[in-house]
Amino acid sequence: MEWLMAVLLSEIQWSDPVLPAVHDASWEAELKRRGAHVLEVDRRVAPSRWLREAAYEATNYVPVALPERLYRIGSMVTAQENSCRYCYGANRAYMKVLGYSETFIQQVERDVQTAELDDKERAYIVFCRSLARSRPRPAAAERAALLQLGYTPAQIGEIAFAISLGCFYNRVSTLLACPPEQKFERMASGPFRWLLALAMPLMKKFAPGRPAEPPLDRAALAAGPFGAVVAPLAGLRAGNVMKAALDGSFETGVLSRSAKALMFAVVARTLGCPHCEAAAIHMLLEEGLSRAEIESAMATLRCPRLAQREAGLLAWARDTVYYEPSSIQQKTRALGAELGADALLEAIGVASLANGTVRLAMLLE
């Protein structure tokens, strides 16, 4: 398997923001009511209800099966693998706030073995890197290896979800070219980071938040777009998060449902996922496309059935799978000139979610 060293924070090239910040007072007030910080990403995805909720979950989801320590390490590793300057910097800073030393963080970044990690934790990091990178995606053998090391099926499900949601959020941040949270990064490296360490959990503790929602069962998760991919998360609130994002992304929006399903199909084929490709094709058949039209669209990255302004979506969606940040940001900016701001934001959300969903589908291998 190809195994390239992930880039370090200082090596990531980043452009100016692709879309401007939108100050939605009611949404920002809701985030604060939930005890969450209003981030640069939040301000740029605010116009899309499903996308802003998914972005919120990506930074505020609380794991129930997986230890918080591993969850945070996995988030940083995922952002590093996806070359996301925004998420990588924020996750790195958050680990410092939680008390991890610079030495430990650098050892994790550089794949250096450290006495602070046991074999089980090292295997977890390797799996996170492999799933985030997906060259190719981990399959049944890798999942079996984690089971043999003592991870439970629920933990593996939450690991796959965390990395998949991270890949989604990394792409949203990258495609938008969100400016880094530099104030937070500076504070996390300064002498008063203990204040952050004290303040952050207190904000969560005393915030009213949202009513707790019970995890959906397998039958409920299986209903809706890509339900078979989400169903293995039954019993975890992670399943609710993925289902809400997928349902929301395929509701009526600026882009056609056919364009969205074709974007999922292209991402699935690029990553070699028969499960997501089959689900996308099923949706396209329901939209009235023939199998010949679908195959032609995936082969040529063009589809006469799409509106003229949607013509560039499929080639761009393929480019969101593997990319260099400044290059994909330039392509996204060019796509926005054809689509307009609202449609571009929706395209960014759909392409990012497709990349996350295909990674989650490794649970079906």
SS (H, E, C) 189-252: HCCCHHHHHHHHHHHHHHCCCCCCCCCCCHHHHHCCCCHHHHHHHCCCHHHHHHHHHHHHHCCC
Mean pLDDT of 234-240: 97
**pTM attached to this predicted model:** 0.91
The answer to whether residue 7 sits within a structural domain is no
Q: Are residues 69 and 142 in the same domain?
A: yes
Closest among 11, 53, 34, 3 to 242, alpha carbons compared: 53
Residue 69 has pLDDT above 50, yes or no: yes
- Contact present, 335 and 347 (Cβ < 8 Å): yes
Q: Which of 216, 241, 270 is the last residue of a domain?
A: 216
- Any idea what the CATH number is for the domain that residue 35 is in? 1.20.1290.10
Q: Are residues 295 and 197 in the same domain?
A: no
- Contact present, 188 and 93 (Cβ < 8 Å): yes
Q: Which of 216, 242, 276 is the last residue of a domain?
A: 216
Q: Are residues 30 and 48 in the same domain?
A: yes
Q: Are residues 164 and 48 in the same domain?
A: yes
pLDDT recorded at residue 188: 61
Residue 62 has pLDDT above 70, yes or no: yes
- Contact present, 305 and 289 (Cβ < 8 Å): yes
Q: How many domains does the chain have?
A: 2
Q: Are residues 52 and 158 in the same domain?
A: yes
Per-residue pLDDT band for 24 (boundaries 50, 70, 90) equals very high
Q: Are residues 50 and 152 in the same domain?
A: yes
Instruction: Provide the percentage of residues in the chain whose pLDDT is more than 70.
Output: 90
Q: Are residues 323 and 174 in the same domain?
A: no
The answer to whether residue 4 sits within a structural domain is no
**Residue range of the domain that includes 176:** 17-216
pLDDT per position as a tens digit, 145-198: 999 999 999 999 999 999 999 999 999 999 999 998 877 667 666 655 545 555
- 111-115, 225-229, 277-281: segment of lowest average pLDDT: 111-115
> Letter for the amino acid at 354?
A
The answer to whether residue 281 sits within a structural domain is yes
pLDDT per position as a tens digit, 35-61: 898 999 999 999 999 999 999 999 999
Residue 91 has pLDDT above 70, yes or no: yes
Mean pLDDT of 103-114: 79
Q: Are residues 230 and 145 in the same domain?
A: no
Q: Are residues 204 and 230 in the same domain?
A: no
pLDDT per position as a tens digit, 303-344: 999 999 999 999 999 999 999 999 999 999 999 999 999 999
Q: Are residues 50 and 175 in the same domain?
A: yes
pLDDT recorded at residue 204: 52
Residue 64 has pLDDT above 70, yes or no: yes
Q: Are residues 203 and 250 in the same domain?
A: no
72 vs 213: CA distance, rounded Å: 23
pLDDT recorded at residue 130: 95
Q: Which of 216, 246, 266 is the last residue of a domain?
A: 216
Closest among 180, 164, 166 to 59, alpha carbons compared: 166
- Contact present, 258 and 289 (Cβ < 8 Å): yes
Q: Are residues 205 and 226 in the same domain?
A: no
Q: Which two tokens stand for residue 168?
A: 């989604």
